Amino acid sequence: MTGNDHHAATRTTDEPIVAARGLRKVYPGPTKGDPVIAVDDVSFELYPNECLAIVGESGSGKTTVARMLVGLETLTEGEIEVRGESRARGARRLADRRRWASEVQYVFQDPYSSLNARQRVGDIVATSVGLHAGASATRRDVRTRALDILDRVGLDDRFAEKHPHQLSGGQRQRVAIARALAADPAVIVLDEAVAALDVSIQAQILNLLADIRASREVSYLFISHDLAVVNQISERMIVMEQGRVVDQGRTAELLADPVHPYTRALRAAVPRPGWKPVRRERLAS
Amino acid sequence: MTDHLLRLDDVRATLRLRDGEQTLLNGVSLEIGAGEALGLVGESGSGKSLTTRAITRMLDPAFRVSGEILFDGASVPRMNAQALRRYRQRDVGMIFQDPRAHVNPVHRVGDFLTEALVRDRGVDRRTAERRAVALLDEVGVRNPEHRLRQYPHELSGGLLQRVMIASVLLAEPKLILADEPTTALDVTAQSDVMAILDEQRRARGLALLFITHDLELAAACCDRLAVMYAGEIVEQGAHVYDAPTHPYTIELLGARPSIDHRVERLPVLRYDRAAHELLKTEAS
Amino acid sequence: MTTPSTTSLAVARAVGSRRTAGLLRTTGGRLGVIGCIAAGLLLVIALAAAFAPVVAPYDPDFPDLLASLSGPTIAHPLGTDALGRDILSRLIWGARITLAGPGLVILIATVVGTLLALLAAWRGGRIDTAISWLLDVLFAVPGIVFGLIAVAIWGPSLITVVCGLAIAYVPYVARVVRGAALRERNMPYVAAAWLQGQSGPGITFTQILPNVQPIVVAQAVSSLGFAVIDLAAVSFLGLGVQPPTADLGLMVKSGFDSVLRGQPTEAIAAGSLIVLIVWCVTVIGDRLTSSARSMR
C-alpha cells in the first residue's frame, strides 16, 4: 500500500491537468419521449505524467467522454477544465482551438481512415508542426522537426515521402502518434489506439507509448476495452458501464482483486491460461 | 486416414497479378476428425480466412487454387454444382464475424431461421418454427417466440450471433466453420457466445474449425490448435498453447500483455518473413 | 450501433480485404481497354482540332462555288457543301468550337459548383440549406432553357450560350461533389485536422478537396458529353455559333438542306462526329466515375 500512499502524496502537490466534473451527454432518442443517456455524471481528474485508463464495453460511453474532452462532442451538462480553463462550451475562435490542440491531442482507433490518403507522411506531420511552431519557424525548420518526430516514433527519413497506403497498420498508427506529438501536447487521448492492431504490432506500439513517457512529460487518457492492455500501460483506471462510472482505482489493485461485481465480470471474461468460457444467463432461457 | 471428416492436403492459392504472382496460401495441410474442434490461429494476412474460403470453394475467381480438400471422403474441388450446393447447405455451417452482414435486414428473424428448412428440406412451416423456437431456447435466447417476429436491427450483436448459431444448428451440419465469431463482441458476450457454441457442438458431436487471432481463446475452446504464418501452418497439435515449439508461436504468446502482471517492456516479435524463409531452408 | 471498441478487428479485417481488392484492381487498370480506345480517339480529334490551321487541307470559309455540292472526290475526300466549302476542313475547324465551347461550360460549372459544394459541406447548417435550395431550383430548369434565356437577353452568340449553359451545369457538379465532401467531412482524418487546430478553409482545401478531386474530374467529364449535345442543339437552332463560322451543330443544320438535294455527306459527317465525341467523353466519364467510387 506504500505505492498508493506515495501516489496520493504526489497528487496533493500537483494540480490536475484535466478536471472533469459531472459530465453528462444526452442524445435525442428515436422517439421524442425517450432520450439516450450516453454519459451520466462522470467525473475524473488527470494528473501530469500519468496514464489513466477508461475501461468499458460497447455502449459504456467511454469514447463519448474522450470526444467531449477534445471538443468532438458537446456537453449536455458538466464541466471540463484543462489547466484551469473551461472547455465546456467549445472553441469559438481558431486561436482557441489551436491553443487547445497544443494541450490535448487525440489518436483515433482506425489508423487507415484517420490519415489523409492524399498526403505524404512527412506532410501529415509537418502540417501539425507548422500549425504549432509559431510564425518565426521557416519551412526548413518545420520539415526538420517533422523528420525528427517521425524518427522518434521509429520511422526513418524514407517514410516521409511515402503515402499512408504504402504503410502497414502499425506504421500508420506510429504516424498518427507522431502527428499528435508534433503539437507538443501535455495530454494525449488514445481512443482504442491499439485495438485494431495485430498482437505483434500492439506490443510495439505499447512499448513506443512507454518510451515516449520516459523521454518527456505527457499524460495519457487511454480508452480501451482490453483489460490486459490496460494493465500493461495504465496506473489508474475508471470502469464505465452504461454511461456511469461504476468502479475506479489503481489499475493493478483493481485487476488483482476486483470488488465491484461488474469489474469482476469483466475480469472473469478475459481468456487466459486455464480459462473456460461461461454462459452468463443460463437461467434466462 | 478415413476417419477424418475434413482433410486439406497441400492447398495452395495464388493470386495472379499484372506483375507476377502472389502466393497467399502456401501448402496448407490439416485434418479435423468428426466431433473434433480445431483452432486456426493467425494474425491478419496469415491466410486463415482464405483457408475457410478455400474449404467452401468461395475464393475469388482471380485465385488459382491447387491441392486436395476431402470432406467425408469426397473431393470438394471436384464437386459439381449440385453436390457443392448440398455440401454448403447441409454439411458445413458457417458463422461469421459480422452476423449483421449475413442476414437480410428486411426479413424477420423467424423467416431467416426457417427459410432453408422449408425451402430445401420440405419441412412444413409450423414444424420449422417449432424447431427454431426450441433451438433459440437452447442457445439462451430469452422469449424465443417473440424474437422470431423481430427484425435483425432490433437485436444486439451478441443476441444476433446466437441466432446465427441457432440457424447453423438447425441445418444439422457435420462441421461448423466459425470465422472470428466473437471478434466484434464485448468480452462478456464473447465468453457467453463461445460457451454456447462449445456446449451445443459437444452435445451434437459436431466438428468445429474455429478461426481466430486470439490464441488464448482458441486454446480454451479447441482440442487442437494450428498456427498460421504467411499462408503456412507453422505448428499444429494439442501441445501448441502449453508447450509451443515453433519460434513464431513462442514469440506470439510472449508479445500479448497479461492481465495478471505487468512487464517493463513487452517482448517484440523478431520473427519475420526473412526468419521464416531461413527457418524453412534450414529445415529442408 | 457499432462503437469503436467493438469494431476493432472489423476494421483490421476490412483493411485486409481492402488490400486484396487493391491487388485485384491494379490488374484491370483505371480506364480499361474500351476507355483507352475512347481516350485515344478523343485525343486524335482534339489534336486535329487544336492544330486545325495546319491539319485542315483548305480554308474552311473559302467558297469554291464552281465545285459546290460535289460528292467525295480526291481533292475533297468528304465533298463540299452548298457553298463549295471543303467539308473535311470545316469538320476539323468545327470540332474546335464543339470541343472548346462545352469545355468552357464545364470548366466554369466545375469551379463554381465545387466551391459551392465545399462551402455547403464545411459550413453546414443554414448555408448548406440555402445552397441546396438554390441547386434544386437550378435543377428544375432544363439546361437548354438557360441558354435560350441568355440568348434572349444578350442576343445569339457563343459566349452568351456558354455562360447560360454553365449556370445550368453548376448543380450537376455541385450535388455530386457535396455528397462526396460530406462523406469526407465525417472521416476521422478531417476530425484529426480539426483537432490539430487547422482552419476551416485549410481543412477544406488541403484535406477534403484532394480526396474528392477524382469525383470532381469524373463528374466534369461525364457532364461534358451532355454539354456537347446541348451546345450543338443551340447552334442547330441558330441561336449559338453564327454562320459563317464552322461548327458541327451548324453543319448539321446547313447539311439538312443539302440532303434534299441528294448530298447527305455534310449532315452525316457532322452528326457522326458529334456522336463520336459524345461517346468518347461518356465512356471515359463512366470509367473515371467507377474508379473514383471504388477508391473509397
**Domains along chain C?**
97-294 (1.10.3720.10)
Q: Strand, helix or coil at B49? A: helix
pLDDT of residue C7: 32
Within-domain flag for A196: no
- CA–CA separation, A229 and B257 (whole Å): 6
| Confidence category of residue C31, pLDDT binned at 50, 70, 90 | confident
The whole-angstrom separation of Cα A46 and Cα A18 is 5
In one-letter notation, the amino acid at residue C76 is: H
Whether A271 is covered by a domain: the verdict is no
Summarize the confidence of residues C35-64 as an average pLDDT. 82
pLDDT digits (tens, 9 = 90+) for B158-173: 889 999 999 999 988 9
A178 lies in some domain = yes
The question of ipTM being above 0.90 is answered as no
CA distances from A229 to A175, A214, A223, B250 (A): 21, 18, 10, 19
**φ and ψ of A237, to 5 deg:** -145, 155
C-alpha–C-alpha distance, residues B240 and A270, integer Å: 20
Confidence of residue C142 (pLDDT cuts 50, 70, 90): confident
Cα–Cα nearest to B52, from B89, B10, B96: B96
- Kindly report, residue by residue over C225-280, the tens digit of the pLDDT: 888 888 888 888 877 777 777 788 888 887 777 777 777 778 888 888 889 889 98
Q: Are A155 and A187 a contacting pair, CB within 8 Å?
A: no
Residue A14 lies in a domain: no
Q: Is the pLDDT score of A194 beyond 50?
A: yes
Whether the predicted pLDDT of A207 surpasses 70: yes
H/E stretch holding C185 reads helix C158-185
pTM for this structure? Answer: 0.84
pLDDT over threshold 50, residue A283: no
Domains of chain B, start order: 4-241 (3.40.50.300), 246-284 (no CATH)
- Whether A57 is in a domain gets the answer no
Q: Which residues contact C86 (CB under 8 A, 6 or more apart)?
A: C56, C57, C58, C60, C62, C64, C76, C78, C80
Concatenated DSSP letters for B10-48? EEEEEEEETTEEEEEEEEEEEEEETT-EEEEE--TTSSH
With vertex at residue B262, the alpha carbon angle to CA A222 and CA A279, rounded to the nearest 5 degrees, is 75
With 90 as the cut, is the pLDDT of residue B194 above it?
A: yes
A253 has a pLDDT exceeding 90: yes
Taking the C-alpha atoms of residue B215 and residue B241, their distance in angstroms, rounded to an integer, is 7
pLDDT reading at A174 higher than 90: yes
Confidence of residue A106 (pLDDT cuts 50, 70, 90): very high
More confident residue, A91 or B63: B63
Residue C55 predicted with pLDDT over 80: no
Q: Which of A229, A273, A234, A272 is nearest to A253 (CA)?
A: A234
DSSP 8-state class, residue B267: P
| Chain C residues in contact with A117 (beta carbon < 8 A) | 189, 211
Question: B213 and C9 in contact by Cβ < 8 A?
Answer: yes
Would you state the pLDDT for residue A281? 61
Q: Does B17 touch chain C (CB under 8 A)?
A: yes
Query: At a CB cut-off of 8 Å and minimum separation 6, what does A130 contact?
Result: A137, A142
3-state secondary structure labels for all residues of A224-270: ECCHHHHHHHCCEEEEEECCEEEEEEEHHHHHHCCCCHHHHHHHHCC
d(CA B66, CA B215): 28
Is the Cβ–Cβ distance between C189 and A172 less than 8 Å? no
Q: Is residue A131 part of a domain?
A: yes
**CB within 8 Å of chain C, chain B residues 208-247:** 213
Q: Please state, as a whole number, how many other Cβ atoms lie within 10 Å of the Cβ of residue C16.
A: 17
C33 touches B: beta carbon within 8 Å: no
Asked if B191 and A280 come within 8 Å (Cβ–Cβ), the reply is yes
- pLDDT confidence of residue C70: 74
Rg (CA), chain A: 20
| C27 pLDDT higher than 80 | no
Residue C76 φ/ψ, nearest 5 degrees: -120, 95
| Residue of C122, C189, C204 to mutate, testing the A interface (most A Cβ within 10 Å of its Cβ) | C189
Chain A residues with CB inside 8 Å of B189's CB?
A: 57
- CB contact A202 to C (< 8 Å): no
Note the pLDDT of residue B235. 93
A29-58 mean pLDDT: 90
**Per-chain mean pLDDT for chain B:** 90
Q: What is the pLDDT of residue C25?
A: 46
pLDDT in tens, C174-188: 999 999 999 999 999
Range of the domain at A161: 109-184
Q: Which residue, among C149, C139, C291, C169, has the nearest Cα to C229 in the 3D structure? A: C169
Q: What is the mean pLDDT of chain A?
A: 88
**Number of separate domains in chain A:** 1
- For residue B22, the chain C residue with the least C-alpha distance is C23
Q: Is A207 a domain residue?
A: no
Residues 6+ apart with CB under 8 A from A186: A17, A48, A83, A103, A104, A217, A218, A219
- Min Cα–Cα distance to chain B from A207, Å: 6
| B26, pLDDT greater than 60 | yes
User: What per-residue confidence (pLDDT) applies to C15?
Assistant: 40
pLDDT digits (tens, 9 = 90+) for B212-251: 999 999 999 999 999 999 999 999 999 989 999 999 999 9
* Best to test chain A binding among B44, B142, B159, B191 (most A CBs inside 10 Å): B191
CA-wise closest residue to C13 among A230, A117, A115, B46: B46
Distance from CA of C155 to the nearest CA of B (A): 56
In a domain, A144, yes or no: yes
Strand (E) or helix (H) holding A132: helix A121-132
* pLDDT score recorded for residue C6: 30
